[in-house]
Amino acid sequence: MTFTSPIVLSLVGVILVSLISLVGIALFALNERLVRRLLLPLIGFSTGALLGDVFIHMLPEMAEEEHFGNRLLLILAGILFSFIIEKVIHWRHCHCPGLPLQDDSHHVHPMGIMNLIGDGMHNFIDGALIAGSFLVSTPIGIATTIAVILHEIPQEIGDFAILLYSGFARGKALLFNLLSGCVAILGTLLVLFTATALPMAGAWLLPIAAGNFLYIAGSDLIPELHKDTRLSRALLQLLTILIGVGVMFALTFLD
């Protein structure tokens, strides 16, 4: 097994994604106002990265395969699956939840536990999609890992704030957020262990990942950007989206 094998690269990628859960530490060092100012540019950047990964890497790769029409149906299935996940477990990507850093005695553990369950399921799916992407090709795996990392950063800040708001102590919130992030490793391992029995796993997961990314960008991230209607902020959001797309385009030179 070499350092460039899909197994090694998948594990490295998912470990990096899992460690993003520690981004909550930023709330210890940065004040709330600064975090709020950084979130929208991060959301714009991750929006561009997700859309860029889909249209620059994933769709062209799928277009080269037979039965492209079936792959498009799987993209639709990925979008609907993401919708169902949210509905069943009341999960939302709370990217910008107001960052309520103080504890509130009226909001106790149930809300935080529900958030952990939803986030864990989301992380499991992310891990599976990362492994599936690396099974298709190294450049697509790298692009997908970067896109996941970028959209995880604002989400994990929001998740950490929700845990604090629901009554968790800071240290406990950080620990449980990390454990939730590590669930992604289980998703990666599942796909890698079943890859031999299911050699088409990567080809099936890639369009599902595309649908998942389109859903996240369209349902969660872009609506957050629309909450600030100032022209100067809109231009900054557009710029950060374009930068995110540009990063995904730059990764095409890895081919």
Tell me: the pLDDT tens digits for 6-47? 888 899 999 998 888 787 666 666 666 776 677 788 888 888
Backbone angles phi, psi at 91, to 5 degrees: -100, 135
Residue 89 pLDDT: 57
Domain that holds residue 127: 6-39+69-254
| Amino acid at position 255, single letter | D
> Which residue is it, tokens 């395969």?
65
Which of 125 and 33 is assigned the larger pLDDT?
125
- Alpha helix segments (H runs only) across the chain: 6-19, 26-29, 32-52, 59-63, 68-89, 109-136, 138-165, 170-194, 201-215, 222-226, 231-250
Distance CA 109, CA 187 (A): 26
The answer to whether residue 1 is domain-embedded is: no
The answer to whether residue 47 is domain-embedded is: no
Percent of the chain topping pLDDT 90: 13
Task: Flag whether pLDDT at 92 surpasses 80.
Answer: no
Once rounded to an integer, what is the mean pLDDT over residues 162-181? Answer: 79
Please count the CA atoms within 13 angstroms of the CA of 74 that sit on its side-chain side.
18
The answer to whether residue 64 is domain-embedded is: no
Dihedral of CA atoms 246, 247, 250, 252 in degrees, nearest 10, equals -100
The answer to whether residue 59 is domain-embedded is: no
Distance of CA 75 to the CA centre of its chain: 17
Pick the range with the lowest mean pLDDT from 111-115, 158-162, 194-198, 201-205: 111-115
Distance CA 185, CA 14 (A): 6
Percent of the chain topping pLDDT 70: 78
**SS3 state of residue 199:** coil
The answer to whether residue 77 is domain-embedded is: yes
Q: Using an 8 Å Cβ cutoff, are 148 and 134 in contact?
A: no
Cα distance between the two ends of the chain: 21
Residue 101 pLDDT: 45
Residue 12 pLDDT: 92
Task: Flag whether pLDDT at 104 surpasses 60.
Answer: no
**What token pair was written down for 242?**
């374009």
The answer to whether residue 60 is domain-embedded is: no
Q: How many domains does the structure of the chain reveal?
A: 1
The answer to whether residue 179 is domain-embedded is: yes
The answer to whether residue 53 is domain-embedded is: no
Q: Using an 8 Å Cβ cutoff, are 141 and 9 in contact?
A: yes
Distance of CA 82 to the CA centre of its chain: 12
Q: Using an 8 Å Cβ cutoff, are 76 and 211 in contact?
A: yes
Q: Is 63 left (phi over 0), alpha (psi -120 to 50) or beta?
A: alpha
| Amino acid at position 217, single letter | A
Using 50, 70 and 90 to split pLDDT, how confident is the model at 88?
low
Task: Flag whether pLDDT at 67 surpasses 50.
Answer: yes
